[in-house]
Amino acid sequence: MPQTARVPINEKTLRWAREQSRVDRDELAKYLHVQPHRIDEFETGKAQPTFRQFTRIAKKLDRPLGFFLAPPPEHSDLPETADFRGGAYDDLPADLAREMRRAERYRKTMLELSDRPDQQLSFTHITWDNIPEQASNIRRQLGLSESFAPKCSQPQQVFTFWRNLLESWGFLVFQTTKISLSTFRGLSIYHKELPIILVNGSDSPYGKVFTLFHELAHVANRTSGLCALQENSHEEIIANRFAANFLMPEASVQKLTEYIDTTDPYEQAEQLAKDLKVSPLAAGVRLRTFNIISDADLARIRGQSDKNWNQQQESRKHNGSHVPHWRLRYRDLGTTYIGAVAQALEDQRVDMMDATYLLHEKMPTIEKMLDEYYRTGGWNETHPRQQHPHWAHPTLSTWYFPQYLAQH
């Protein structure tokens, strides 16, 4: 009877990858359907995995197959600048470590495949004393007046608008899927060129909008790391105040409240939120900042907001709404990154096998994602590149992708 083929992996590389991925021995053993001591044998060179086990190891540890055949890297492949703002964790959760590592990989891909934006934001360090001034400064650089708010009807469109605007100015914004909000709300990885903002896709659209500009404040101050739900450090408070000032400038709030025709605090917050395209809770906090409502009023707004959010979550569970996997991946990666890979495909600088690695997906999913990119032209009516064409990857021809598949 022929022996089962084994793969001669580098045992030191396996251990390095497992530890970098924050996966313990028992978890990997359970994933491979083997006893924990078998992982010890793989990591000491006493045994080698079957090819099936090898492919599952690569999938679990989020590395290409060839990675395990070479010696381990000398340094960590997680962003060196990542800290844990707020001190929520002693160690980085495995799923978040994976997303951070992928985001860095996507950034390297962008540097290789795409031209640089024509303009980048110029930052001055944000302090407690200059928050309103710096929020106005960023608005001016983006070409936005103090009274500007996106002309979008749906919250998700509002987030898409702000995301695309920041990406057109040299940021990379990605989202995550299936990571709890209790783990993180957002994080940033500072780079002088192409800084990264990672947003939790489980959050509400307006929650994600606030996170975008919270993280922008950290990038402006050249800090990186993870933000949880709690506001428990001086740095986090400054970032939250910056986001509030950017999205809800004082002059706009004061002017709009003059026309609010209700004395009910929650209805006041709702009307202001509708005008400025933020959540009622964010609007309520801003109203309290200017002493337009009381602490008790804000507590009521917070309670009603929590109730509404819980009802929305329960409704989704009850209705069993399902979003196809390819659409979640399209949302998470965004049109800037997908567009860069699509353009490289069109230019024949990469092929479809390369795309499976660059997009971390199988071929059928990639086909659907690229088809959506071509179908929509890479943006919708809210896309700010029409006004801010700073990112230099051109619109792709809608006929190219079917031809490409036919030829390959």
pLDDT tens over the chain, length 408 residues: 567 788 999 999 999 999 998 899 999 999 999 999 999 999 999 999 999 999 999 999 999 889 999 999 988 888 765 455 444 455 778 888 899 999 999 999 999 998 877 778 899 999 999 999 999 999 999 999 999 999 998 999 999 999 999 999 999 999 998 898 888 899 999 999 999 999 999 999 999 999 999 999 999 998 887 776 566 688 889 999 999 999 999 999 999 999 888 889 999 999 999 999 999 999 999 999 999 999 999 999 999 998 988 888 777 777 766 889 999 999 999 999 999 999 999 999 999 999 999 999 999 999 999 999 999 887 543 344 443 333 333 333 333 334 433 433
- Beta carbons within 8 Å of 156's beta carbon, 6+ residues apart: 205
Instruction: Give the pair of three-digit tokens for residue 402.
Output: 């079917």
- Beta carbons within 8 Å of 33's beta carbon, 6+ residues apart: none
Domains of the chain are 11-69 (1.10.260.40), 118-319 (no CATH), 325-407 (no CATH)
DSSP element (H, E) containing 316: helix 295-319
Instruction: Give the pair of three-digit tokens for residue 288.
Output: 């309290």
Burial per residue of 179-208, b for 16 or more beta-carbon CB atoms within 10 angstroms, e otherwise: beeebbbbbbbbbeebbbbbbbbbbbbbbb
What pLDDT, on a 0 to 100 scale, did the predictor assign at position 396? 36
From CA 233, how far away is CA 85, in angstroms rounded? Answer: 8
Q: How much is the pTM?
A: 0.85
Residue 351 C-beta-side C-alpha neighbours within 13 Å:
3
- Give whole-number Cα distances, 271 to 250, 261, 283, 325, in Å: 16, 9, 9, 35
177 CA to centre of own chain: 9
> Where does 320-362 have alpha helices with state H?
325-346, 352-358
End-to-end CA distance of the chain: 39
C-beta atoms surrounding 57 within 10 Å: 24
DSSP element (H, E) containing 188: strand 186-189
From CA 397, how far away is CA 382, in angstroms rounded? Answer: 20
What pLDDT, on a 0 to 100 scale, did the predictor assign at position 311? 85
Phi, psi values for residue 225, rounded to 5° = 145, -165
Instruction: Give the pair of three-digit tokens for residue 79.
Output: 């962003």
